[in-house]
Amino acid sequence: MNYVTKELFDLAHTKAADYLSAFRYPWEALDGIKQMILDLGEKLPVDEYEQRAEGVWLHKTAKVFPSAYLGAPCIIGPETEVRHCAFIRGSALVGANCVVGNSVELKNVILFDNVQVPHYNYVGDSILGYKSHMGAGSITSNVKSDKSLVVIRNGEERIETGRKKIGAILGDYVEVGCNSVLNPGTIIGRNSNVYPVSCVRGVVPENRIWKTGGVIVAKNHRV
């Protein structure tokens, strides 16, 4: 199944590996991200991580620009850049070698290692897998306009989540084109691409391309 945690992610590329492995479906992990970060933070090696403020841990090789805001709790991993005017509202686990770009907002998220959200992105109540990338202006929409509970749609299948807030779940190596909107409960399988200026909803299987008008086609190669 394209929406199961073990099918979407290589858990070797996140400090949240033990936490995520306990959940069959990744959206089930969203409720506990805050406490998971607090628990992880207390165990981080003090020779590698600086505690910038209460509940805020920053790897000593990470680069945080002066105008960025780091809200608690959060962990910023090795060699990661948090650029000008980035707004980390809290409950954000950001892995190694990531880019959190100018005017990007993060809230209740797990970013695996080597994730890039480099320009004007909103990522809330979401999990972004290893080496996933969101193009400039692409966002996750985490609440439905009618405020009803989010349902995961996989073809004719409907999965009741019981949650009001779910953004998007991106598997490893996913590429999201510029100015795309990932509607609440979007799940994109490993190594899939989304065309720019797309409005995406439901489950996109692995190794696919979401094209203009919601047409989904197979890719000709695998990572």
pLDDT at 155: 87
Domain ranges of the chain: 5-218
Q: Give start and end residues of each alpha helix (H) in the chain.
A: 5-8, 17-20, 33-41
Q: Do the Cβ atoms of 147 and 165 come closer than 8 Å?
A: no
Distance CA 13, CA 171 (A): 12
Q: What is the set of active-site residues?
A: 119
pLDDT at 220: 79
Domain 5-218, CATH class in plain words? mainly beta
Per-residue tens of pLDDT for the chain, all 223 residues: 678 999 999 999 999 999 999 999 999 999 999 999 999 999 999 999 999 999 999 999 999 999 999 999 999 999 999 999 999 999 999 999 999 999 999 999 999 999 999 999 999 999 999 999 999 999 999 999 999 999 999 988 999 999 999 999 999 999 999 999 999 999 999 999 999 999 999 999 999 999 989 999 999 754 4
pLDDT at 1: 62
pLDDT at 177: 98
pTM above 0.85, yes or no: yes
